[in-house]
């Protein structure tokens, strides 16, 4: 039997090469068919989002910002979902079938990383068929991709991660600013990246009794240390006052000492002492100059600079002392600030101490307190001396009659007026006559003492009605009647019991006006509108007009005799319109006289001070009894200067 011939190695290699060639051809055919999908998946996984098919569409560049800022992405979603206000609809069955049987649809495996999911959401967004929730998710993914890209571009990623792991505080901007245009573009909202921070601060307030129901009590002293500062970014101590819900001008101490001028000192103390500040460092020249002065033997007072007295978590002792000219604040035994007394606020009015804010109070001590309130202890303030008695009413005509509005329990205020500007030469010679106009008090003991005061001094006109703010206009009418019926005065002046008058200066101003002219003099207001809302609202029933007539401020104004006679006659005939604001009422009456009787000369001057005092004043308002004495002392020396002028 013959043995078969074996296959040669060459034929075996030939068959293997053909097989490998066929496999390679099949692979190329497969690659050519699935190449676009493979490129898309590879680009998505690799993070290269610039690819969008072979066409290279430019709409899918995720490296370009969708909006101008993350702030607009996160807070200013413009979800134009007017079609989605109702309940969401079910998916369309036809579209689902098309997706199931469509040749181009593909089932993507849920990926492990957010980028692939973000890419899916971006593809869904191209269909413009997203619900509200899907659009919010799309925006969330957009923000996530952008935040991730910012992390990839960061130069020092390790330092950021370490700070977060170690618990170090995240850096946030201490302030943010926007222009008006930027605010409008952002729908009127401003993004605060780290929210708001509580400013470590506390307040110590000396408060008075509530003057009006529903209002906060007046703040005779408002002391507000702010440990972390405010807009200045430095620790500050702020002082202020508040009366009838109106704040005064704040005195701020920020570590820089105030001037040592006489007008800036309070009982010899600076208003603000120096404390250490990180932004102020002594220069080399100042140190060299200091050493040179010591070398030549020039006397130099050493100045010690202390740190800010308040530190979080540290105990302190604060002392508030009332001096002759103002309050003095010491912390830890060191003087820090002084605040001069404000006009209209007296020590006797401080009937409450309030401590508020981020502070734990261990104890409070109040010493050297008065045994009684001066205004409620007439025996203490009324000096029953012949010196302060009023002269009898003159029989002859006088130049001016002054009617002073006063409250029944203002014994100290009336006594201060008697001892100061009522001692002017024109009043002592009876060329000018002064009388207080007082209504009754609900307390019987106050009325009894008022009657004794009126009987002894002879300068009080007691009006038989219960005192109310809304009835002050009746006191003004009583002044007008007294000015023409009990005396014969060419001019009548109305003022308050906390108003200081330079009588000689006011007479000179009156004499400068022609005698035959009807006169209305004071600090005039023009085109003032009534408040229609708030605590001091004036209803349309009370005042239907839109503006008030020209009127002089109530603390002090002057009218001529002919106007007063007209007012009294109109009131007698019951033709006089009354309004609860007495100064506005007077302006209304003068305007009526100006239209119907004769032309009135309106004389305006700012020196009839409405709030406080000013240099070369004619009248000063809101003056306490102590300040009255101070003004009289300066005026007696020939100086028309204010006390505690700011």
Q: Would you mind telling me the total number of residues written for the chain in this entry?
A: 646
* Per-residue confidence (pLDDT) for residue 566, from 0 to 100: 96
Tens digit of each residue's pLDDT (9 = 90 or more) over 307-358: 888 888 889 999 999 888 889 999 999 999 999 887 656 676 677 888 988 8
Mean pLDDT along residues 160-164: 45
Considering only residues 502 and 76, tell me which one the structure prediction assigns the higher pLDDT.
502
CA 490 to chain centre: 46
pTM of the entire predicted model: 0.51
CB 535 within 8 A of CB 212: yes
Per mean pLDDT, which range of 343-347, 448-452, 505-509 is the poorest? Answer: 343-347
* Per-residue confidence (pLDDT) for residue 376, from 0 to 100: 55
CB 513 within 8 A of CB 519: yes
Confidence band for 106, pLDDT divided at 50, 70 and 90: very low
Mean pLDDT along residues 285-307: 65
Q: How far apart are CA 629 and CA 636, in angstroms?
A: 10
pLDDT at 441 over 90: no
DSSP state of 100: H
pLDDT at 391 over 70: yes
Average pLDDT of the chain to the nearest whole number: 76
Instruction: Look at the block and give the residue holding tokens 């102020």.
Output: 280
pLDDT at 646 over 60: no
Per mean pLDDT, which range of 82-96, 191-205, 255-269 is the poorest? Answer: 82-96
Tens digit of each residue's pLDDT (9 = 90 or more) over 517-561: 999 999 999 998 888 876 567 888 888 889 999 999 999 999 999
* Residue 429 token pair: 């010679």
CA angle 583–585–586, rounded 5-degree value: 65
Confidence band for 571, pLDDT divided at 50, 70 and 90: very high
Instruction: Give residue limits of the domains in the chain.
Output: 34-80+101-154+177-196, 202-279+291-357, 383-636
Confidence band for 476, pLDDT divided at 50, 70 and 90: very high
The residue ranges of DSSP E strands in 235-361, in sequence order, are 236-243, 246-247, 251-253, 318-322, 326-331, 334-340, 352-357
Mean pLDDT along residues 143-158: 58
- From 1.20.120.80, 2.60.120.200, 2.40.50.100, 3.40.50.300, which CATH number describes the 202-279+291-357 domain? 2.60.120.200
* Per-residue confidence (pLDDT) for residue 508, from 0 to 100: 94
pLDDT at 389 over 60: yes
What superfamily in CATH does domain 383-636 come from? Spore Coat Polysaccharide Biosynthesis Protein SpsA; Chain A (3.90.550.10)
Q: Is 206 exposed, middle or buried (0-12, 13-18, 19+ CB in 10 A)?
A: buried
């Amino acid at each position: 039997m013959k043995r078969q011939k074996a296959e040669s190695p060459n034929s075996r290699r030939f068959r293997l090469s053909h097989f490998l060639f066929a496999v390679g051809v099949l692979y190329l055919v497969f690659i050519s068919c699935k190449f676009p999908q493979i490129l898309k998946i590879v680009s998505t996984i690799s993070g290269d989002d610039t690819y969008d098919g072979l066409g290279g569409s430019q709409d899918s560049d995720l490296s370009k910002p969708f909006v101008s800022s993350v702030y607009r992405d996160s807070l200013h979603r413009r979800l134009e979902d007017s079609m989605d206000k109702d309940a969401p609809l079910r998916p369309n069955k036809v579209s689902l079938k098309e997706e199931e049987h469509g040749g181009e649809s593909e089932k993507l495996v849920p990926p492990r990383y957010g980028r692939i999911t973000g890419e899916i959401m971006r593809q869904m967004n191209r269909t413009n068929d997203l619900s509200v929730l899907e659009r919010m998710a799309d925006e969330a993914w957009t923000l996530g991709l952008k935040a991730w890209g910012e992390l990839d571009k960061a130069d020092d990623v390790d330092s950021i991660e370490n700070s977060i792991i170690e618990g170090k505080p995240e850096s946030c901007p201490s302030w943010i600013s926007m222009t008006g245009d930027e605010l409008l573009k952002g729908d009127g909202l401003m993004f605060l990246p780290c929210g708001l921070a509580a400013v470590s601060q506390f307040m110590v307030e000396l408060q008075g009794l509530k003057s009006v129901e529903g209002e906060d009590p007046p703040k005779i002293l408002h002391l507000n240390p702010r440990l972390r500062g405010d807009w200045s970014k430095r620790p500050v101590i702020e002082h202020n006052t508040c009366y009838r819900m109106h704040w005064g001008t704040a005195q701020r101490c920020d570590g820089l000492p105030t001037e040592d001028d006489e007008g800036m000192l309070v009982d010899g103390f600076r208003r603000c002492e120096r404390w250490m500040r990180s932004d102020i460092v002594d220069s080399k020249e100042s140190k060299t100059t200091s050493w040179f002065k010591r070398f030549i033997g020039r006397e130099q007072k050493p100045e010690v600079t202390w740190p800010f007295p308040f530190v979080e978590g540290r105990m302190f002792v604060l002392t508030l002392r009332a001096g002759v000219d103002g309050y003095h604040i010491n912390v830890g035994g060191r003087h820090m600030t002084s605040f001069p007394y404000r006009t209209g606020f007296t020590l006797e009015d401080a009937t409450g101490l309030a401590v508020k804010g981020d502070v734990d109070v261990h104890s409070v001590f109040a010493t050297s307190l008065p045994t009684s309130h001066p205004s409620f202890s007439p025996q203490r303030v009324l000096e029953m001396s012949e010196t302060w008695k009023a002269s009898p009413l003159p029989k002859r005509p006088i130049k001016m009659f002054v009617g002073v509005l006063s409250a029944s329990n203002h014994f100290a205020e009336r006594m201060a007026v008697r001892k100061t500007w009522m001692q002017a030469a024109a009043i002592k010679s009876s060329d000018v006559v002064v009388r207080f106009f007082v209504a009754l008090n609900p307390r019987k003991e106050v009325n009894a003492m008022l009657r004794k005061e009126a009987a002894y001094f002879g300068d009080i006109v007691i009006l038989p009605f219960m005192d109310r703010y809304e009835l002050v206009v009746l006191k003004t009418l009583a002044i007008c009647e007294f000015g023409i019926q009990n005396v014969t005065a060419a001019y009548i002046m109305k003022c308050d019991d906390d108003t200081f008058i330079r009588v000689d200066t006011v007479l000179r101003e009156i004499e400068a006006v022609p005698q035959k002219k009807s006169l209305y003099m004071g600090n005039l207001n023009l085109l003032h509108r009534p408040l229609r809302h708030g605590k001091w609202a004036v209803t349309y029933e009370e005042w239907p007009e839109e503006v008030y007539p020209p009127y002089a401020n109530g603390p002090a104004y002057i009218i001529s005799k002919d106007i007063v006679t007209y007012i009294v006659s109109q009131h007698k005939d019951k033709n006089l319109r009354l309004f609860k604001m007495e100064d506005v009422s007077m302006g209304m009456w003068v305007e009526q006289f100006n239209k119907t009787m004769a032309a009135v000369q309106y004389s305006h001057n700012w020196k009839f001070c409405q709030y406080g005092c000013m240099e070369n004043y004619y009248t000063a308002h809101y003056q306490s009894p102590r300040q009255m004495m101070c003004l009289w002392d300066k005026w007696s020396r020939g100086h028309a200067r204010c006390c505690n002028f700011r």
